[in-house]
């Protein structure tokens, strides 16, 4: 017998990319979401679905709330818990300050305690899937995956590879060690439960050509695994990268030269891209992951939402916590809106939610499994609280359309707007009353 539960509330999800079809969403005022063994069995208006349910099925009521697919944060750093909110620097200076503090994550029991806090914060903020950078030490990634497996999360992560140009106080790896450690982690974790491995060169500055060749080798040996790295975040970073790879015509071209572009590659930031870069990203199906909270915090620049739309690139938002000062994807959407406004582009709430839900699932080629409420998908979802604060409750009384309601939540909401989080149908977070 399947274990069946049902949830009643308003319901919102995207059905396609609103950059192509602005009507490709569903918003149901009074909906019923039915879950069997952790997957969506059916969903729709309460009046239609209720008669199809057996009388003894328990219906969980979510008044004044919207059921929404869980958020995707496609760029976040696990070992930066103690180094978020560090004052005063831009990217390269900031990295010199914070990277040495990742060294303690080679102690697995410390990493394990931090993993519990880190994953708890993700869930408290409604993030059910993330692409996570570990530290250089495989122990950090083992600790993270162990906790994520216990919670049955759909999570991807990798240990950072960095065999040169690291600040004092952090261990350098070597291409051989990076290969061996990554391989061991892939064999242990990739495909275990809902986990995925992401090969993670920190960025081109920290990787020798041999280290980048190791990345290509790992992808060749495990074609259904992923790659994530940083791209074109800060002008000084770009200059240094091109000094290290003078044969390359752009920062993107460095990764391209080592065969690292493709549909399973996630590039973080991507701020200072030229049109030719967007074109190359588009032809290779690579994914761009802008992180507005971090880009404002470090003063790195503005992601070109309009160009990304025009080139039809695959993209999904992240927070880049700890350079980002928040775990909240609602905050990331809010900052994304402001970032686009600074360039004369108004990011719609449907686009922002797409880049944080279905777009994230598509970016990971996981949209057959998660990302919206179509029957058969895994039931990773959140309960957005329309009464999160007295002011939000009042403001929403003056909002009527789905677009207005979602926009108010993304501009005024944060972790307080996440009433509950469910993973594969199981509640993993519930906000204190
Ligand atoms: Zn980052």
In percent, how much of the chain has pLDDT > 90? 96
Banded pLDDT at 432 (limits 50, 70, 90): confident
- Per-residue pLDDT tens over the stretch 270-309: 999 999 999 999 999 999 999 999 999 999 999 999 999 9
- Per-residue pLDDT tens over the stretch 196-241: 999 999 999 999 999 999 999 999 999 999 999 999 999 999 999 9
Distance 312 CA to ligand 1 centre (A): 23
Rg (CA), the chain: 21
Is residue 2's pLDDT more than 90? no
- Per-residue pLDDT tens over the stretch 71-117: 999 999 999 998 888 888 999 999 999 899 999 999 999 999 999 99
- 191-203 as b/e: b if 16+ CB within 10 A: eeebbbbbbbbbb
- Whether omega for the bond prior to residue 194 falls within 30 degrees of 0, making it cis, is no
**Helical ranges in 135-249 per DSSP H:** 138-150, 175-189, 209-221, 235-244
Q: What is the pLDDT of residue 26?
A: 98
Distance 196 CA to ligand 1 centre (A): 18
Q: What is the pLDDT of residue 85?
A: 87
Residues in the chain: 433
**Cα–Cα dist 33/237, whole Å:** 47
Distance 424 CA to ligand 1 centre (A): 28
Q: What is the pLDDT of residue 387?
A: 98
Distance 48 CA to ligand 1 centre (A): 45
Is residue 1's pLDDT more than 80? no
Distance 343 CA to ligand 1 centre (A): 23
SS3 state of residue 237: helix
For the chain, domain boundaries: 4-69+371-430, 71-363
| Phi, psi angles (nearest 5°) of residue 205 | -60, -35
- Per-residue pLDDT tens over the stretch 136-189: 999 999 999 999 999 999 999 999 999 999 999 999 999 999 999 999 999 999
Distance 295 CA to ligand 1 centre (A): 10
Residue 249, classified by CB atoms within 10 Å of its CB into exposed (0-12), middle (13-18) or buried (19+), is: middle
Tell me how crowded residue 63 is: count the other CB atoms within 10 A of its CB.
9
User: In Å, how far are 98, 172, 216, 233, 368 from 94, measured between CA atoms?
Assistant: 6, 18, 29, 13, 39
Distance 52 CA to ligand 1 centre (A): 47
Distance 390 CA to ligand 1 centre (A): 35
Distance 370 CA to ligand 1 centre (A): 24
Looking up tokens 């002008």 gives: 235
The helix or strand, by DSSP H or E, that contains position 403, with its residue range, turns out to be helix 402-412
CATH number of 71-363: 3.20.20.140
User: In Å, how far are 134, 229, 267 from 256, measured between CA atoms?
Assistant: 24, 13, 12
- Strands of 25-36's sheet in order across: 39-45, 25-36, 4-14, 59-69, 381-385, 418-423, 426-430
**Cα–Cα dist 284/262, whole Å:** 5
Which residues are registered as beta bridge partners of 13? 26
Domain 4-69+371-430 in this protein, CATH class: mainly beta
Is residue 325's pLDDT more than 90? yes
Q: Are 240 and 252 in contact (CB under 8 A)?
A: no
Tell me how crowded residue 276 is: count the other CB atoms within 10 A of its CB.
12
Residue 29, classified by CB atoms within 10 Å of its CB into exposed (0-12), middle (13-18) or buried (19+), is: exposed
Distance 293 CA to ligand 1 centre (A): 11
**Cα–Cα dist 198/108, whole Å:** 20
Q: Which segments of 52-174 are extended strands (E)?
A: 59-69, 71-77, 127-133, 156-158, 160-161
pTM over 0.95: yes
Distance 55 CA to ligand 1 centre (A): 50
What distance lies between CA 143 and its chain's CA centroid? 19
Distance 185 CA to ligand 1 centre (A): 21
Reference 204, options 235, 169, 161, 172; nearest CA is 161
Distance 30 CA to ligand 1 centre (A): 39
SS3 state of residue 143: helix
Reference 14, options 365, 355, 427; nearest CA is 355
C-alpha distance across the termini of the chain, in Å: 33
Distance 133 CA to ligand 1 centre (A): 8
Is residue 433's pLDDT more than 80? no
Distance 319 CA to ligand 1 centre (A): 9
**Cα–Cα dist 287/271, whole Å:** 13
Distance 324 CA to ligand 1 centre (A): 9
Distance 75 CA to ligand 1 centre (A): 6
Distance 84 CA to ligand 1 centre (A): 12
Tell me how crowded residue 220 is: count the other CB atoms within 10 A of its CB.
9
**Cα–Cα dist 67/49, whole Å:** 16
Q: What is the pLDDT of residue 88?
A: 85
Distance 87 CA to ligand 1 centre (A): 17
Is residue 123's pLDDT more than 80? yes
Q: Which segments of 300-352 are extended strands (E)?
A: 314-315
**Cα–Cα dist 233/171, whole Å:** 24
């Amino acid at each position: 017998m399947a274990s069946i539960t049902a949830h009643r509330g308003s319901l919102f999800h995207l059905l396609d990319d609103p950059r192509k079809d602005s009507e490709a969403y569903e918003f149901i005022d009074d909906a019923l979401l039915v879950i069997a063994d952790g997957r969506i069995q059916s969903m729709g208006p309460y009046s239609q679905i209720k008669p199809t349910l057996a009388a003894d099925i328990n219906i969980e009521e979510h008044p004044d709330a919207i059921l929404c697919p869980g958020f995707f944060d496609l760029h976040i750093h696990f070992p930066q818990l103690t180094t978020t909110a560090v004052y005063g620097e831009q990217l390269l200076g900031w990295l010199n300050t914070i990277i040495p503090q990742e060294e303690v994550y080679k102690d697995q029991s410390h990493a394990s305690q931090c993993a519990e806090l880190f994953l708890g914060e993700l869930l408290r903020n409604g993030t059910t899937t993330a692409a996570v950078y570990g530290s250089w030490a495989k122990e950090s990634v083992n600790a993270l995956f162990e906790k994520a497996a216990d919670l049955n999360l759909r999570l991807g992560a990798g240990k950072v590879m960095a065999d040169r140009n690291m600040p004092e106080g952090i261990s350098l790896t070597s291409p051989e060690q990076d290969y061996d450690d990554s391989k061991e982690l892939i064999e242990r974790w990739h495909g275990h439960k809902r986990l995925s491995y992401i090969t993670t060169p920190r960025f081109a500055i920290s990787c020798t050509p041999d280290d980048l060749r190791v990345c290509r080798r790992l992808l060749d040996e495990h074609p259904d695994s992923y790659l994530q790295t940083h791209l074109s975040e800060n002008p000084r970073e770009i200059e240094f990268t091109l000094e290290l790879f003078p044969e390359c015509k752009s920062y993107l071209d460095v990764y391209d030269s080592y065969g690292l572009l493709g549909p399973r590659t996630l590039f973080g930031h991507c701020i200072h891209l030229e049109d030719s870069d967007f074109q190359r990203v588009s032809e290779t199906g690579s994914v761009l992951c802008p992180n507005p909270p971090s880009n404002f915090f470090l003063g790195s620049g503005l992601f070109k939402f309009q160009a990304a739309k025009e080139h039809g690139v695959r993209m999904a938002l992240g927070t880049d916590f700890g350079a980002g000062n928040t775990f909240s994807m609602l905050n990331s959407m809010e900052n994304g809106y402001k970032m686009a406004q600074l360039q004369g582009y108004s990011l719609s709430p449907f686009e922002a939610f797409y880049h944080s839900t279905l777009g994230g699932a598509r970016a990971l080629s996981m949209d057959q499994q998660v990302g919206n409420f179509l029957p058969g998908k895994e039931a990773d979802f959140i309960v957005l609280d329309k009464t999160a604060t007295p002011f939000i409750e009042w403001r929403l009384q003056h909002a009527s359309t789905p677009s207005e309601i979602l926009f108010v939540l993304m501009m005024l909401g944060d972790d307080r707007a996440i009433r509950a989080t469910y993973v594969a149908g199981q509640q993993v977070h519930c906000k204190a009353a």
